Structure 1
Amino acid sequence: MKYYICCLCISFAMFNIASAQTSTADGPWGSNATWAPASSPGFTGLGTPIVNSYVTVGSDAANQSLTFANDNGRSLTVNDTLIVFGDVTFNITKNNAAVSIGAGKVLIIFGDLEMGKNNAGVDIGAGGILVVMGNITADGNNGVITGPGSVFTSGTSNMAGNNTGESGDLTALENSSQFEEVANYVNGDQDVPLPVKLLYFRAEVSSGVVLQWATASEIDNDYFAIERSENGIDYYQIATLVGNGTYDGLLEYEYVDKKPQAAVEYYRLKQVDFDGVSETFQPIRVEASGVLPEHKISLYPSVVGNGQLNITSDQPLYIHDLTVYSMKGGALMSVGHAEQNTMNTYLLDVNQLTSGVYILRLQTSEGDTYTNRFVVK
């Protein structure tokens, strides 16, 4: 008898999984061609639909809302993008309603999200995003929002969860560079599909500057170029990482810059398709002074006879200030904010100096100071 009951439970669970309608093509919710098996789940009496494509509800001004059946344990799973121009409603007398948003995936509701009665749960994967233009409500006890993803609403939410307070209202979304495309869509640019590719681009400092980023999906991605700048204006490429072509799912990347050139560095990411089309993402600022390699600076010739003194370094040299002092006292010449030389050499004209012994004091843009002596013949 015990074995028979377990088989019955397993068979019932398998029936539920098999009966879940899954979207397999981009398109409107109400189109049979969007779903497999080829039949729309409708807009009311919903069970456990799964969205695996780009789906819209009510973009044609008809049937703009989704209402789930009068049963416990109803769920909505979003593994791509779902946009609902009305409300999403679970029955307020039923328990255990669940909304699941995958890593890097998107659910936008232009109305309210009503999660039903007790033990309602919304789980959002890393880089995933839930936008609700109205209110988020759980009518009973233990309503909770979990997962590392983000929630934005213009209304209120009575569901517990750190990510609701962390992400805040739609103002925070509008000011977010991470979800700029989502913000633009919500604010009225709804004529084109919503592309969400880059989940994050961040840096931490350890043995070098560790750059990390992740994508939710890639289409014809040839490679990523990592670009660096010392002033936040002029960028140059320091490395490339091969992309994954076309891939639907979470991908994570990492690159370590072991030789930053300044106390403050700026990094940005450029993604290049196989056809050469590229997209450059917002840069990030990094305090890199803790991992700067030490300069080895030397002067030659030690006795200058032609009015030219060479200052050489084992790495690109950014001079913040350079001053020459007489051994008798007093500064005789000063050079500020010199340009980097591609050969790591800076040529100083000392023709104006008379014969004698001098001290050169050099301060790099990283804040390091070097002092050395030279002679003018």
Structure 2
Amino acid sequence: MITSNNINAAVFKPNPGQWGNNATATFSSLADWQNSNYWTILDGTGKTADYPTDNDVVQFGSSAQYGNNGMVITGFDLADEYTGITFNANSYPSVLTIGSGATVDASSLNENGNRITLTINSGGELTVHNTATFTANQTSIYNYGTISFNDGLNMVHTGKNTIVSSGDFNVTGQFKMLGTGLTVSGGSFDVSEEWVIETADGQSNNDLDVTNGASLNVGGIDFYQYAIGPEDIDITGGNVTVSGSCNHAAVCAEIEAQGGDLPVELISLFGIKTPEGFLVKWTTGSEINNSHFMIEASNTKNNWKEIAEIDGQGNSNVATDYEILLKGEQYNYYRLVQYDFDNSYEILGILTQNVSSENDTISIFPNELTQGQSTNLLFSNPDSDIAFTLYLFDLVGNEVDQKSASNYASSFYQYKVPNSLNKGYYILNVLIGSKRYQQKILVK
């Protein structure tokens, strides 16, 4: 038996005896919704009405499965009459459509491990108040009307999920994505907090297309370094605006290159534990109205304490490297905050003491590339000048490329993979003094 968080909630599903075992249950008026013949009640605890009302639970399923009808709500304002309904998927797959002229207010939308196809047609509107988490493979959201997730949206699976939107798509909170293709082909896709990809799982299915004058507006970008590549991003004919930090150097650069709007062009940011303290390095590609940077520290990601201030360049269109060694009391977390001259600010990124050990000297990412794409080398050597030699070998030991640099004074270096390489695996070796670092590279 499925229960609800509401003590007096009843549980309903469309009546297969009314709609047919392999039919879609279509509610096209309030009278349809209030017709008891159209419903099967599964749990009527504390219930007087024999159809769903405020805070009840509605099950929906697949029209292809016996007794588990897909649902269409169209042509009337359900939210004006009943709110806080919980919609539970009860078969694999499950289908829910909000048609033209329909307005639906949902407390929750739960997949229960079932693949969902959710469609909002033009003129339809769906609001989901609680966090929506979809983890089943091949879950899809098609929005041509208005959809609002008021407590965040998690679309996470290593397989292939799909979001297509040409209407108004609103996420209050974080938007977590994994194994998902996001296509914004019109209207706007707005995320109040960060757009997050936490791991490289499902990376081959992560992509972004913004076209036809559409806009994607996010509070920040927090991507695992291998989760998505610049080649997976196409904002031709659309626009992406990042109002806060963007921690993935290659993705940020690609958004900028395609006309996106990032208030601070941050090329790199990383930190490393050393015997003397925590070393923070970052590089900006350009600066506008930049007064200063502030380093803040915390042990819990709350109650941040200002511990260091570094002057900015004001206005600059050339790359600028910054670094600071934070001695004395050590913290679990550090963050970099940038301030304009009018004292407005943005948080550029958060670092943890556990990101790397004191023996690490270089980070290399991404390790999956296309021909002619660049991988990034981030140096944590506190010396101002670095001499290194880079070798690229195939798997049988043949050297296919070599680069050298002496007195290199930046924390960031981009190595472009030759266009002539065949697809397959290679070994990237970086020699710094007597130390050698290796990274396996896949050219796709």
Measured against the shorter chain, the TM-score band is 0.3 to 0.5
> Greater helix percent: which structure?
1
> Greater strand percent: which structure?
2
Q: TM-score, normalised by structure 2?
A: 0.30
Q: TM-score, normalised by structure 1?
A: 0.34
